[in-house]
Amino acid sequence: MKHLNRRAALLISAAGLAATTLAGAASADTLRLLTWGGYAPEELIAKFEAATGHTVEVTLSNNEEMIAKLRATGGGGFDLIQPSQDRIAGPQAEFGIYKPIDLSKINTDLFIPSMLEATKANTTVDGKVYGVPAVWGTSGLVVNTKEAPMVKDYLDLCRPELAGKVTYRLKRPTLIAFAFSMGMDPFAAYGDEAAYQEILDKVEAKLIECKPNVKAYWSGGDELLNLMRSGETVASMAWDTGGWKLNAENPDITFVAPTSGALGWIDTFALPAKGKNDQAAYDWINFVMQPENAAMITAAAGNFTASAGSDEYVDDALKARYQASFPPEAVDNIKWYPPVPAGLEALEGAVLDRVKAAN
């Protein structure tokens, strides 16, 4: 009887150990993803889980919350996160909240080459890469091509024949855009405050000179759209998605990538310092960057991804708008925002205040 009890006890113990092991395996096989709305649509998650056997737990967030969560845990709590590329190098250098990307575990052939290289450069700390591109968008020109066919670059917004028919924001992207259009490289001057101020001085003079052309400095997306819809303005500086939305309503209005380069933001894939399931993270990256899968993100989020060729799989109307705005050379010419050094935003704010106050 004692032998049977002992055997039964051993079986029970073994069963408990197996259950514990299976539970641990299931937990270890879960990808904890911290991301933005639309970047992990349910149908894509289901497809990934069926293909890989991983499960996915999604937490929606934004840049500020992502950094705060990782700082609070020292880089724990998640296996993969998607901060913007300008939120990686600085926080990593200061707080050590990320771990380097092992590029050998990523199918880099899936990515648009210029976008991959730009992101690697902007997320490198001490020779190690901490981010690869995921989702992107730009600001550039939204133009009524029937009324203002001459608008090809930011400086064209100042052409005398467009007096009172232009709109843009009084924000830092406008300063950056005009600098590039004037033949300067503001990003190259980020490390030299005096050189950057010299660029700002020239841009300030141009924006003050351009004020007679400005119907209004728009402050919200609806205001911009309504100004262009009504015909009060015929050219503006705005986001690509706004231009494509207007194009769906009026084929004369569309987004134009400026000849000096659209200004681009990139949300990335990055690994938290204390993530526990790097393999699932790499599997997710390689899966969702396959063109047909990446197109599902575009359908959900409205923005395009860094997946090469994924535009071929999106809605035909959106694909046509994207390809008209962004031939390959225009994509390669995008000026990607790098991290902003401390102190520059104060210089920019002073310039914007003076432009606003100028007669």
In a domain, 308, yes or no: yes
The parent domain of residue 49 ranges over: 2-136+265-328
The pLDDT, as a whole number, for residue 20 is 32
- Which pairing describes strands 132-144 and 253-256: parallel, antiparallel, or unpaired? antiparallel
In terms of domains, do 42 and 119 share one?
Answer: yes
Among 19-23, 39-43, 62-66, 189-193, the minimum mean pLDDT is found in: 19-23
pLDDT digits (tens, 9 = 90+) for 21-53: 333 333 459 999 999 999 999 999 999 999 999
In terms of domains, do 20 and 85 share one?
Answer: yes
In a domain, 317, yes or no: yes
SS3 letters for 165-220?
A: CEEECCCHHHHHHHHHHCCCCCHHHCCCHHHHHHHHHHHHHHHHHCHHHEEEECCC
The pLDDT, as a whole number, for residue 28 is 57
Domain count, the chain: 2
* Six-digit token string for 151: 């608008």
In a domain, 22, yes or no: yes
CB-count exposure of residue 295 (10 Å: 0-12, 13-18, 19+): buried
In terms of domains, do 102 and 33 share one?
Answer: yes
pLDDT digits (tens, 9 = 90+) for 151-175: 999 999 999 999 999 999 999 999 9
In a domain, 38, yes or no: yes
In terms of domains, do 143 and 210 share one?
Answer: yes
Using the predicted structure, report yes or no on whether residue 176 has a pLDDT greater than 80.
yes
In terms of domains, do 147 and 184 share one?
Answer: yes
Contact 96, 270 (CB under 8 A): no
Contact 250, 71 (CB under 8 A): no
Q: What is the CATH number of the domain that holds 191?
A: 3.40.190.10
In a domain, 344, yes or no: yes
In terms of domains, do 146 and 124 share one?
Answer: no
pLDDT digits (tens, 9 = 90+) for 247-276: 999 999 999 999 999 999 999 999 999 999
User: For a pLDDT cut of 70, what percent of the chain falls above it?
Assistant: 92
Reported confidence tier of residue 111, pLDDT bands at 50, 70, 90: very high
End-to-end CA distance of the chain: 101
